Amino acid sequence: MRIDAHSHAMHASRNAQGHYVGPISACWRPGEWDAEQLVRQHRERGVERVLLLDPPEVAFQMAAWFPEFVIPVPMVDMDRLTPADVETLLARGAAGLKFIAPMHSYGANRYFPLYEVLCDRRALAVFHTGYLADALFAPRRALGREDYVDITHMRPAAVDRIARAFPALKILMAHFGNPWWEEAWKMISSHANIYADFSGGTAYRRSLNMWREMFAPNGRLDTAAIGKLCFASDVTHFEPERYEYLPYIEFYERFYEALQVPAELRQKVDRETILTLLGR
């Protein structure tokens, strides 16, 4: 069984070419489908639980509707969030927070008070790392001009400064830093408190030769680095008979086979590491 460390209950409409064209909307409402059956169809395919990384009210509502399936990790606007807000979200049952689209580098001092609360409460900090689709976050008005998302604020290297300042903070880098793959590997290899996943639409499409060279250079398996990975997809689990996570399961299995990852290490990646990060 697996725990999906990156799931959503909301989605953006796309056209035939896969480009985002419509508003983000919720995928499920009570009464539309049978909740128990919805969960059962995923567990039959090997997904035991999911971390839900949506705005707070969505994450908490879905956790209330699916208490044995959803672990809420609310997505927040870190440029408007206060330490008191972090305390409130954790008190409501958040297992951690998901950071994305900052107007400054993740490692900027201005965000340190937020990380301090998460660290003190032993909660998880999930960081979107790397590229972000341009249609998902509209530019903000700042100082009388448009202020656009800057993906360099979300490089894996930006998380390095956080790990140095908060070595006890539990950090999960989503999307393995796409396209800064080597940088992401360096972070999980250099810091005991940084972990990563292969979620999103790019990592699982890359050649296994790239991953083999990174995690098993010259045929020598880097078990320490692999032990810092978590299974994750970045898709929804809340539409019936929709299993968009299956290509990610297939990719992780191909990754395991190509690198000859032992069974106990596969189990860590699939579920045990994220459970440890959640303190469960």
Helix segments in 32-132, DSSP class H:
35-43, 56-65, 83-91, 112-120
Q: Name the least confident of 44-53, 80-89, 103-112, 132-141.
A: 132-141
Give the pLDDT score at 143. 53
pLDDT bin (cut points 50, 70, 90) of residue 21 is very low
What residues have CB less than 8 Å from 137, skipping those under 6 apart?
100, 101, 149
Question: Which pLDDT score, from 0 to 100, does residue 26 have?
Answer: 56
pLDDT-derived band of residue 23, with 50, 70 and 90 as boundaries? very low
**pLDDT higher than threshold 80 for residue 194:** yes
Residue 112 contacts residue 165 (beta carbons within 8 Å): yes
Domain count of the chain?
Answer: 1
Q: In this predicted model, what pLDDT tens digit does every residue of 32-59 receive, in sequence order? A: 678 899 899 999 999 999 999 999 999 9
User: Residue 87 pLDDT more than 80?
Assistant: yes
DSSP symbol at 79: T
Q: What is the pTM of this model?
A: 0.92
Task: Give the domain CATH number at 194.
Answer: 3.20.20.140
- pLDDT value at position 138? 72
Low-confidence winner among 31-40, 171-180, 201-210 (lowest mean pLDDT)? 31-40
Who wins on pLDDT, 99 or 145? 99
HEC string for 161-229? HHHHHCCCCEEEEEHHHCCCHHHHHHHHHHCCCEEEECCCCCHHHCCHHHHHHHHCHHHCCCHHHHCCE
Find out whether 31 and 74 touch, Cβ atoms under 8 Å: no
- Range(s) of the domain holding residue 127: 2-277
The distance from CA 158 to its chain's CA centroid, rounded to whole angstroms, is 16
Give residue-wise pLDDT tens across range 59-71.
999 999 999 999 9
Peptide bond into 179 cis (omega under 30): yes
Nearest Cα residue to 271 out of 201, 177, 197: 197
- CA atoms of 96 and 126, how far apart (whole Å): 7
pLDDT of residue 239: 84
d(CA 184, CA 99): 17
